[in-house]
Amino acid sequence: MTVALITGANSGIGRGAAVDLAAKGWTVYGSMRSLDKGDKLTAMAEEAGVTVHPVVCDVTDSDSVDAAVADVIDRAGRIDVLVNNAGIGGNGVLEEVSIETYAEVMDVNLHGVIRCCQAVLPHMRERGEGCILNVSSIAGIIAAIAQSPYVASKWALEGLTEGLAQEVALHGIRVALIEPGIVKTAIMAKNVDAPNATGAYDRAYQRLFAFYAAGLMTPGHPSEVSEVIHEAATTDSPRLRYTCGWGGEELVAGRAAMSDEDWVALGALEDDGEYVDRFNELFGLDLSPGLG
């Protein structure tokens, strides 16, 4: 029976994955900063007729991470799969975001992953097997406009994971990136900041929210991500990257097919109608519901 530790399991993708993977017969430990944040996870697990074991873990605290990993190993005997899912958003154009905000986003989205990997890897190396799945974002592939802190953290996570995959391959450890597009989770409702302190970046923020408005008309579901996580951990033909959710495949393919010059030129379009048309031409995604 597969034993998994999923961080950030109290909401969104992590909560859905915890319940869905438990339903597939996995023994799932779902971490959260405080057990009082796990009521909805418990309710969803009970409704599905499964058990998800809650674990206290603050990914910004090395001692907390070490204690959580030790607790799971003590209770289950091993960790087969680590899903680094805990994360926060971070809107804003570079000029208007404080260094403190960048540091906060990086501490969760990047340093939190590092802490969890460092806690689990000695155990996996000793066993000669294991799987680490890092939940990134389509924003780790394409620099989503006006989300500079979030994009920076996810691009860093992509590089970190590419390197890690090679570093541990000889130890029998599988590493992969999960790159969701827009998925309907609570983080969408929370991620509505638009600092616009200078007033100079109206278009950037409008285009950011137009993208999410379009995606949230037909968003991916957390269960879609759960299936991808299960596939990445169990397939006989593993890949480094798995994309899912609204816009995921289109954005990856579109960015790969276009030049860097075309990417910059897209941002230089002043007319919103021209921007919508060009975005659709490049990516096959219609932003007109939010920017018509």
Known catalytic residues? 150
Calculate the alpha carbon distances from 224 to 18, 204, 235 in Å.
13, 30, 16
Paired strand residues for 133: 83, 176
Question: Side-chain half-sphere of 109: how many Cα atoms within 13 Å?
Answer: 26
Calculate the CA 273 to chain-centre distance. Answer: 31
Distance CA 163, CA 176 (A): 11
Paired strand residues for 92: 147
Distance CA 273, CA 284 (A): 15
Backbone phi and psi for residue 181, each to the nearest 5 degrees, phi listed first:
-80, -135
What is the spatial order of strands in the sheet that 81-84 belongs to? 52-56, 27-32, 3-6, 81-84, 130-135, 173-180, 241-244
Write the CB contacts of 80 (distance below 8 Å, at least 6 apart in sequence). Answer: 2, 3, 4, 129, 130, 131
Beta-sheet strands, E only, within 171-240: 173-180
Residue 141 identity: I
